[in-house]
Structure 1
Amino acid sequence: MTARVTTGTPPEAAATAPEGGATGKDAILLAARRAFTQRPYAEVTIRGIAADAGVSASLVVKHFGRKEQLFNTVADFGPAAEELFDAPLGGLGRHMVLTLVRRRREQKGDPFLRVVFSLGNQDERSLLRTRFHEQVTARLTARLPGRERALRAELIAGHLIGLGATLSLHREGAGSHATPEHLADLYAPAIQRLVAG
């Protein structure tokens, strides 16, 4: 993969800073997500990720292997999709909003924003988009009833990414003080309409 010089810090990077509670594998994953979001693949190093996570490079290798394997772990949207879609269709919209907001707050990161804000080269961005389509959009399409399922699934994914981007951009705003339940009260009905078709 080739290097590309970029500047600026995307919202996802700011949303994933490890805080005191993250240790070991969790801290490594947070640091890796931030590294692969902020910098092209060729500029990311295992040592840099280890330093950011506050662990040794050998511990990163022990848990995740080489840089390519770590990138593949970071580029895996499957576990997040499993959690987000684990609800009956009648309450899926609300469940997705609650899960997204709670996950962001508990894990200090967003499960989907990296697909938009990744600064890697074309191959890396294509891999992220392909994985996102296979693991998120296509999976959601298969669950939805009625007509235009693929279009509705794409719009739902857009709503979820938009919510994550908004909460990242306004980290100290009104949304940061609202409960997950209140955010779901306001945001989930539009998603649920798309779920129901």
Structure 2
Amino acid sequence: MSDQTESIPGEPASTLDVEAHTSARRRAEQTRVSILECAKAAFNQRPYGEVSLKDIANEVGVSAPLIIKYYGTKENLYEAQLDFTEAADRLSRVDFADMGTHLARLAVTSADDSPNSLVRKLADAGGNRHIVDTLGKVFRQQVVAPVLERVATESLRESSRDAEMRAEAAMSMVIGLALMRRLVTQEYFHEADVDAFIEYYGGLVQCVLDGADTADTADTAS
């Protein structure tokens, strides 16, 4: 006599089969999350070239081939763990009129080892062209794009015609300032000077965001 619990071809899967499949899928998703968390910690702590898939696999307790199965390459894993949304969310809560000063203050006062620092991530890329391009792509999607949208709808010159140019120019000024502070002029930013500099530079960034001439802004303020 045949076992009455045996599956019959064409019949729906048993409850046990469905539960087993669901459990396996849940474990796989948890493993993916663990891999991303470990990858983020590793890439935040060490330069890209010093991190290996084997290191991450050992930390998670899986094999490197499993990471390759999920993400394909180390470059793909790096892109998957990149996340600037926390910084973007904070920026979204800043009044548009204060955005220039806010961005300038971040560029001048943020810690060099901040995990959200684009400049630090670029330095840690070690000249890897693929990683540099990936950083640019993700930063543009997660940070520059929301700024662009606000420029088009909230600036003094509410126009989408040149909003992209203004958003990119403003963010370039901020990233350039962060880079110069880190590499060249850090000693200049003494506590006594920093607020005046932030007000000055933030005003320039705000002019770009607003689409206003610095001369016009100065006349209005006088």
Considering the TM-score relative to the shorter chain, is it more than 0.5? yes
What amino acid maps onto 1:112 in structure 2? L
| Partner of residue 143, structure 1 | 150
| Partner of residue 192, structure 1 | 206
**How big is the alpha-carbon RMSD for the aligned residues of Structure 1 and Structure 2?**
3.7
| Partner of residue 167, structure 2 | 153
- Classify 1:169/1:124 alpha carbon distance in 2 versus 1 (closer, same or farther; 3 Å): closer
Distance 1:134 1:171 in 2: 30
- Classify 1:102/1:175 alpha carbon distance in 2 versus 1 (closer, same or farther; 3 Å): closer
Distance 1:81 1:108 in 2: 15
| Partner of residue 90, structure 1 | 97
- Classify 1:97/1:85 alpha carbon distance in 2 versus 1 (closer, same or farther; 3 Å): farther
| Partner of residue 59, structure 2 | 58
Distance 2:167 2:85 in 1: 16
2:90 equivalent to 1:78? no
Q: State, as a whole percentage, how many aligned pairs show the same letter.
A: 23
What amino acid maps onto 1:161 in structure 2? I
Number of residue-to-residue matches in the alignment: 157
| Partner of residue 23, structure 1 | none
1:83, CA displacement in angstroms?
2.3
TM-score, length of structure 2 as denominator length: 0.55
Name the structure, 1 or 2, with higher relative contact order (CA <8 Å, separation 6+). Answer: 1
Distance 1:111 1:95 in 2: 15
Deviates more, 1:65-74 or 1:125-134: 65-74
SS in 2 for 1:94: helix
1:154-177 deviation per Cα after TM superposition (whole angstroms, max 9, x unaligned): 001101111110110136511254
| Partner of residue 6, structure 1 | none
- Classify 1:157/1:74 alpha carbon distance in 2 versus 1 (closer, same or farther; 3 Å): farther
- Classify 1:92/1:123 alpha carbon distance in 2 versus 1 (closer, same or farther; 3 Å): same
- Classify 1:134/1:141 alpha carbon distance in 2 versus 1 (closer, same or farther; 3 Å): same
